[in-house]
Structure 1
Amino acid sequence: MNAPHPPKVAGIDPAVPTPAHTVAPAPPSPGADPSPDAAPALPVPTGPAPGTLLQDRLAGWVSDLTTLHELTERLSRTDALEPALQELLRAGSALVGARRGLVVLEPGDGLGPCTTIGLGLGRADLGHIETVPRGSLHGALLDTGAGTETVHADLFAEDGLDPRHREVAARLGYAASYALPLVTESAARLGAVVWLYDEPAEPDERRRHLIGLYVRHAAEHLARLLEVERTRARLATIAEELLPSRLPRVAGVQLAARHRTGPRGGGDWYDALPLPDAALGLSVGSVTGSGPSAVAAMGRLRASLRAYAVMEGEDPVAVLSDLELLLRLTEPARSATALFAYCEPALRKITLAGAGHSPPLLIGERRTEFAETSVSAPLGMLACWEAPSVEIQAEAGETVLLYTDGLLHRTGDPMDRAFARLHAAAASIPRTLRRDPGAVADHVLHTVLPDGLDTADSEEDVILLAARFD
């Protein structure tokens, strides 16, 4: 492949067939007698009929616009960055006539996210391409965003090609490339997209026009998805920062937590707080609503509960009563569910109270059962507190599992079936996993929400807080 090759021009077959045209009139047969009144015969045209070229051109334009409309419609239906980038590569490869390609997402503002996705290229292939100096393949498009395209019609016949680029092209088996920048109308650079040809080739003028229109539309769509992705990431970061960065170490008990946040950010929380006299406070709860306001309300409510727990944690009813009063006075339009447990690990004794929250689950060798907590309305909806606290005596090796209602709601089942599914998942935990509260939480999470339901986008947050008593 070291010998120079004349560059090929990639063609595109029109999706709309060439229309049939009226043929020229046939000349009279040789044996026919001419009539004296007949008009003189006109010469038979030898070239295309008038208007044929215009009709062919119009048919081509209709075909191109139809194809472009279908491709942009498919792209617009994507609602996340990765599927959109994959669709961009597939549609672009059809438009430019290339079999392989890659798209590099590298926003010019430096805020990320940055990623590289390939079409017909494995992870090792992308790794090889990343070793090519940026300026040789598409680096100018990424570094400055200047220019409209980068064409290498015949890499092995090109003078001054970087040796590493030549080596990688030979190893991966591509002989030409065509690259375009991903730039929005506001001149914001998002990255670049490159298509690779197996043989020397380059797109013709028609293909370049179509791919240019498509990539401009794709860049605007990607910019919108990028903002959505960044907003989700910010909400997730804020929610995580408002929750414990690590769980405390308290003698006599092992702790583990699992948290799944919805795409809009939710108001579920958990907490584990060391208290005086070697005690431990555990809480889970959920604020109504979603989005930034719910996340902020969750942070305020959790911080207030910690303060009340330090002052009067041995009386869970008093803790939730104070929280109820605070919520009613400061945020009368919002309600919340909560469960607070005062644990004495040395005695394996748990005193808890709940407000509209699902009961905790006791998981041990000899029993798997829900704790019988008193029924109470959610916080913010109580006229007065009437539900007393309950005491639970855990046995050595038993795990108390606290959770939020999102674990049940994500199943899509009625609540009675969801509770039955949760109980069955807890009862099926293998003995080898029961000594590790993290393994207990993982088993319950993946059994109750199989097939990726635990990580799928949902309006419901999911929290599990497991405490195993020695």
Structure 2
Amino acid sequence: MASNAPVGKPTDMSSPRLPKVAGIDSTVPAPPHTVAHLPGVPSAAPPSDAALPPGVLIQDRLASWVSDLTTLHELTERLIKTDSLDGALREMLGAGAALVGARRGMAVLEPADGLGPTSTIGLGLAHADLGTIETVPRGSGSYGRLLDGLPEADPPGAGLPEADPPGAGLPGNGPTAPRRPARVPEPIAIRDVRTEEGLDPRHREVAARLGYAASYALPLATEEAGRLGAAVWLYDEPAEPDERRRHLIGLYGRFATEHLARLLQVERAHARVATVAEELLPSRLPRVPGVRLAVRHLTGPQGGGDWYDALPLPEGALGLAVGSVSGTGPSALAAMGRLRASLRAYAVMEGEDPVAVLSDLELLLRLTEPARSATALFAYAEPAQRRIVLAGAGHAPPLVVGDHRTEFVETSLSAPLGMLTCWEAPSVELSPAPGETVLLYTDGLLRRTGDATDRAFARLHAAASSVPRADRSDPGAVADHVLRTLLPGGLDPAVEGEDVVLLAARFE
């Protein structure tokens, strides 16, 4: 169709062109008879257009607008489906390259508030190429000039009217003028690196080494979001986007910046939750003669209430505990911290009786947080005698791994804490052989497999049985092997679900 004919000279854009986007030419071609492609964006028309009937000109103009809007819709739809900063930056780079007619590019994420995260993503550029570009003095590179000139995000309340001065509203006096939003700098186009004035010699040297002759840099910033970063697209030949392409990439860039700002807030929130969760758990495991400890704790995006503890007790004893609090997010983390701190106190006072420890914990939970439930397992270990006494409340049984056996500990069935008016279940005692490892874990390890409960237990048993003999002397290696076998893809931080805790204790 005429509306899909190329625009501008073929030499103005790098080749080869990127694939089409959803059936629409991703380079956003323009019809040859279009007078103006988008409101406020003029475009030169061939002299023969003056002889065309007005109806044809209007139809061509509408067809061009529809094509542009459809392309932007397709590209923004693809961008909005990304749920990570890395994925959004890569999608934005590819779509932007299609809009400006480039083949390569890079995006730099560098929030102005200095809170991070920072990253550099390349399109058609190897990691070494990105490092080479970063050797260009920051003041000479287009993205560096943009980043240094971009505004920070306004503080809360910025842009709103300030407090009225005395006399405001009286005749002859007016309210205080609102603050003006920070200005976002214009994109920077370098049509020919070889002839551009004011460039550092290193800039020209890097361009020659990487084989690009021109660039177009776009600030990733808006008045509301402030500075997030900048994107640069590289051309193989001297080139510069025409006015229409600049308008399209400007619209797309503003939308991409707002989307990146939302993802940045989410990622920072997840990082804060993960930090709080780690701070609520032991910073390091204790060293107790006769036993070696290792733990693996994987958290989900919302931050669950799974926890663990290893507490030295009098006379060389050791208290081991794992548990899970219902719910996710900050409230579950706070409840987890309170529950763990309470269990430590009860363990110091009456740790030799795990049933009494969990009974006290049940009473506390029922009185202070009646709407919440929790599972817990507490083990009182005497490493010198290789003796363990444990009790569980709605928790999965431990697993003993050794050279001659791999078996679950037979514990009595019990409801979770907070589910019964009065909780009490008998404790069990076991004696690990020298060199055996006892695995304590949370239900999240089983549920993250995606299998039914029976199948998940069977897979856990098989994973523990398959630990190489050379790794069985290291509790950390045992835990790593079990996790790799059960969750070969790891714990996807973008997938909602429970946390995973695996505590391994190897008795000498």
Same fold at TM > 0.5: yes
| Match among 36, 49, 53 for residue 53 of structure 2 | 49
Distance 1:341 1:274 in 2: 12
| Match among 404, 422, 425 for residue 384 of structure 1 | 422
Secondary structure of the equivalent of 1:250? coil
Distance 2:266 2:225 in 1: 19
Partner residue in 1 for 2:248: 210
Larger Rg belongs to: 1
On the 8 A contact 1:8/1:202 being kept in 2, the answer is: no
| Match among 113, 117, 132 for residue 113 of structure 1 | 117
Partner residue in 1 for 2:319: 281
Task: Give the drift of 1:456.
Answer: 5.8
On the 8 A contact 1:365/1:398 being kept in 2, the answer is: yes
On the 8 A contact 1:176/1:198 being kept in 2, the answer is: yes
Q: Which amino acid aligns with 1:90?
A: G
Partner residue in 2 for 1:41: none
Distance 1:262 1:404 in 2: 14
Distance 1:155 1:15 in 2: 26
Asked whether 1:143 is paired with 2:152, we answer: no
Partner residue in 2 for 1:189: 227
Asked whether 1:362 is paired with 2:366, we answer: no
| Match among 352, 355, 370 for residue 314 of structure 1 | 352
| 390-399 vs 448-457, which moves further | 448-457
Partner residue in 2 for 1:457: 495
Distance 2:244 2:500 in 1: 52
Q: Which amino acid aligns with 2:94?
A: R
Distance 1:458 1:400 in 2: 29
Deviation per CA, 1:325-361: give whole Å up to 9, x if none.
Answer: 1101110100100000000000100000000000000
Q: TM-score, normalised on structure 2?
A: 0.84
Deviation per CA, 1:173-196: give whole Å up to 9, x if none.
Answer: 111010011113315110101101
Task: Give the drift of 1:17.
Answer: 7.0
On the 8 A contact 2:305/2:333 being kept in 1, the answer is: yes
Query: Structure 2: which 5+ runs fail to align?
Result: 1-8, 15-24, 34-48, 151-183
Q: Which amino acid aligns with 2:374?
A: A
Partner residue in 2 for 1:419: 457
Summarize the Cα distance change of 1:140–1:270 in structure 2 as closer, same or farther, 3 Å threshold: same
Deviation per CA, 1:281-306: give whole Å up to 9, x if none.
Answer: 00000000000000010011001101
Q: Which amino acid aligns with 1:75?
A: L
Q: TM-score, normalised on structure 1?
A: 0.90
Distance 2:412 2:299 in 1: 28
Q: Which amino acid aligns with 2:66?
A: V
On the 8 A contact 2:31/2:60 being kept in 1, the answer is: no
Asked whether 1:160 is paired with 2:198, we answer: yes
Q: Which amino acid aligns with 1:318?
A: A
Percent identity over the alignment is 75
Task: Give the drift of 1:16.
Answer: 8.1
Distance 2:198 2:350 in 1: 77
On the 8 A contact 2:301/2:493 being kept in 1, the answer is: no
Partner residue in 1 for 2:127: 123
Distance 1:235 1:386 in 2: 34
Asked whether 1:292 is paired with 2:330, we answer: yes
Partner residue in 2 for 1:440: 478
Query: What RMSD, in angstroms, separates the aligned Cα atoms of the two structures?
Result: 1.9
Secondary structure of the equivalent of 2:325? strand
Distance 2:464 2:332 in 1: 30
Following TM superposition, the consecutive aligned residue runs of length 4 or more in structure 1 with deviations greater than 4 angstroms are 11-19, 453-456
Asked whether 1:68 is paired with 2:69, we answer: no
Partner residue in 2 for 1:99: 103
Distance 2:502 2:286 in 1: 16
Distance 1:55 1:7 in 2: 25
| 131-140 vs 162-171, which moves further | 131-140
Distance 1:9 1:454 in 2: 43
Distance 2:450 2:81 in 1: 25
Deviation per CA, 1:406-435: give whole Å up to 9, x if none.
Answer: 000011111000000000000011100100
Asked whether 1:303 is paired with 2:327, we answer: no
Summarize the Cα distance change of 1:454–1:214 in structure 2 as closer, same or farther, 3 Å threshold: closer
Deviation per CA, 1:92-146: give whole Å up to 9, x if none.
Answer: 0000000000110000111111111000011101111111111212212111215
| Match among 268, 271, 275 for residue 237 of structure 1 | 275
Partner residue in 1 for 2:158: none
Q: Which amino acid aligns with 2:497?
A: E
| 53-62 vs 116-125, which moves further | 53-62
Deviation per CA, 1:199-242: give whole Å up to 9, x if none.
Answer: 11010001000000000000000000000000000000000110
Query: Structure 1: which 5+ runs fail to align?
Result: 1-5, 20-44
On the 8 A contact 2:28/2:71 being kept in 1, the answer is: no
On the 8 A contact 1:107/1:190 being kept in 2, the answer is: yes
| 346-355 vs 380-389, which moves further | 380-389
Secondary structure of the equivalent of 1:189? strand
Distance 1:154 1:193 in 2: 18
Asked whether 1:259 is paired with 2:297, we answer: yes
Partner residue in 1 for 2:437: 399
On the 8 A contact 2:359/2:424 being kept in 1, the answer is: no
| Match among 409, 412, 415 for residue 371 of structure 1 | 409
Q: Which amino acid aligns with 1:141?
A: L
Task: Give the drift of 1:15.
Answer: 5.9
On the 8 A contact 2:355/2:424 being kept in 1, the answer is: no
Q: Which amino acid aligns with 1:142?
A: L
Distance 1:437 1:249 in 2: 13
Deviation per CA, 1:16-69: give whole Å up to 9, x if none.
Answer: 8789xxxxxxxxxxxxxxxxxxxxxxxxx9932333223222211111110001
On the 8 A contact 2:13/2:237 being kept in 1, the answer is: no
Q: Which amino acid aligns with 1:120?
A: G
Summarize the Cα distance change of 1:14–1:430 in structure 2 as closer, same or farther, 3 Å threshold: closer
Distance 2:424 2:62 in 1: 79
On the 8 A contact 2:298/2:491 being kept in 1, the answer is: no
Distance 1:82 1:376 in 2: 45
| 66-75 vs 375-384, which moves further | 375-384
